[in-house]
Amino acid sequence: MTIQKKTVAVFGGTGNQGSAVVRSLLLNKQNTFDVRVITRDINSSIAKDLLSLGAKTVCADARDHDQLAAAFTGAWAAFINSNSDHHGADDELHLPNVFDFDTAVLKAAKAMGVAHVIYSSGANVYRATKGRVSLAGFDCKSYAEEYARSEEMFDTFTAVLPASFMECWTAEPFCETWGGFPLLPKENGELLLAVPPYGGDGRMPWVSVQDDFGDIVHGILLDPVRYDKKRVQAISSLIRFEDLAHAFTRGMYLFKAIEHPLILRSATGTLVKFQPLSSWADVPQDGSDLRRECSLMFFYMEFCGGRWFAEYPSDDTAARECKEAAARARGCLETNPIAFEDWFKRNFKGHISSQK
């Protein structure tokens, strides 16, 4: 008997989140999904790679309604994520922003009869800080989510809220902000992790986009009614920063506290030192948007009592359920989200060894 595949359109399908969703869906052992990658550039290396894995690619821009309509035609479900990293300058205020683009995409999906939508959203930082801080990438997505909910646009609608990305620890500018850990040792070989108070119980949520984010969305699509109107927090690990240093050390195979409880030495001989900063205001600045936003994020976290997701405490229950469902659908024996220890072991063992 021929099984009718369900077409899932992935808007932003060549981005980090979108491509992770595409890869997970394509590995479904029941061959449940026909995966359509919506991208502005079907000739990019990532688009070609996903095409070779079995996805279909279609070109569409959020500013072009006809392209969007064609891209969503016949889709049973959609995952929607747009680039929220660009923040317009003062002379660009009259131009469309993330909210405008995302609501245009949502309207197009509705017009073409898409039944189930998963939207990559964010916390409303402006509201959570009572107007003290606005981070456009978060706030605009929150407003677009609220728009979709108020209009009751789809049979089911689920917001997925990503935790901070583990992959940030592979980017030099990000690591430099926090003292260099784990990518950039000091001249004496020491790795320094220097962060302000996080707030609450100190546990910050993180997600590995590569390992878990796609599976979490995959799991929602296996049972969209179950997650209708829910806000699923995409979390791989909840961890304190001092425990992050321990996880790195364990990932390098040896844990050994020496002299001070916040100083650790890994099997590679690299020293890991955790240094608490006094305040979010102590995050070193260099004039970049990255440093400014990192500082403001820690103000936000401390102000909200450590709640990355604003009014909601961190809760990885749904993420673990979805991860398990998707992992089983992919035929995997390991159904838990990745731990930082294993993530560090995979991503940094070779790099740290090369520093010796």
State the pLDDT at residue 254: 46
Q: What is the domain extent for residue 30?
A: 1-154
> Which of 136, 154, 172 is the last residue in one of the domains?
154
Find where tokens 């790195």 sit: 248
Same domain, yes or no, for 7 and 140? yes
Q: Is residue 261 assigned to a domain? A: yes
**Structure tokens that stand for 145 in this block:** 């989510």
Same domain, yes or no, for 274 and 133? no
**Residue 219 contacts by C-beta under 8 Å, 6 or more apart in sequence?**
321, 322, 323, 324, 325, 326, 329
Q: Report if pTM > 0.85.
A: yes
Q: Is residue 292 assigned to a domain? A: yes
Separation of alpha carbons 74 and 162, rounded Å: 28
State the pLDDT at residue 189: 83
State the pLDDT at residue 97: 87
Q: Is residue 230 assigned to a domain? A: no
Same domain, yes or no, for 45 and 3? yes
State the pLDDT at residue 266: 60
Same domain, yes or no, for 270 and 304? yes
The burial of 301, by beta-carbon neighbours within 10 Å (0-12 exposed, 13-18 middle, 19 or more buried), is given as: buried
Q: Is residue 356 assigned to a domain? A: no
Same domain, yes or no, for 120 and 176? no
Q: How many domains does the chain have?
A: 2
For residue 202, the domain's CATH number is 3.90.25.10
The burial of 243, by beta-carbon neighbours within 10 Å (0-12 exposed, 13-18 middle, 19 or more buried), is given as: middle
Same domain, yes or no, for 182 and 112? no
> Residue 75 half-sphere exposure, CB side, CA atoms within 13 Å?
31
Separation of alpha carbons 39 and 64, rounded Å: 12
Separation of alpha carbons 104 and 345, rounded Å: 42
Same domain, yes or no, for 116 and 1? yes
Same domain, yes or no, for 55 and 146? yes
> Which of 122, 154, 186 is the last residue in one of the domains?
154
**Structure tokens that stand for 88 in this block:** 């317009």
Same domain, yes or no, for 38 and 75? yes
Same domain, yes or no, for 38 and 134? yes
State the pLDDT at residue 95: 81
For residue 55, the domain's CATH number is 3.40.50.720
Return averaged pLDDT per consecutive 10 residues of the chain, 356 residues in all. Answer: 83 97 97 96 96 97 95 98 64 80 96 98 96 93 96 96 97 97 89 95 97 98 98 98 89 51 59 91 96 96 95 95 97 94 85 49
CA 353 → CA 178, 185, 263, 266, 269, distances in Å?
Answer: 21, 12, 19, 11, 9
Q: What is the 3-state secondary structure (H, E, C) of the chain?
A: CCCCCEEEEEECCCCHHHHHHHHHHHCCCCCCEEEEEEECCCCCHHHHHHHHHCCEEEECCCCCHHHHHHHHCCCCEEEECCCCCCCCCHHHCCCCCHHHHHHHHHHHHHHCCCCEEEEECCCCHHHHCCCCCCCHHHHHHHHHHHHHHHHCCCCEEEEEEECEEHHHHHCHHHHHHCCECCCCCCCCCEEEEEECCCCCCCCEEEECHHHHHHHHHHHHHHCCCCCCCCEEEECCEEECHHHHHHHHHHHCCCCCEECEEEEEECCCCCEEEEEECCCHHHCCCCCCHHHHHHHHHHHHHHHCCCCCECCECCCCHHHHHHHHHHHHHCCCCCCCCCCHHHHHHHHHHHHHHHCC
Same domain, yes or no, for 144 and 172? no
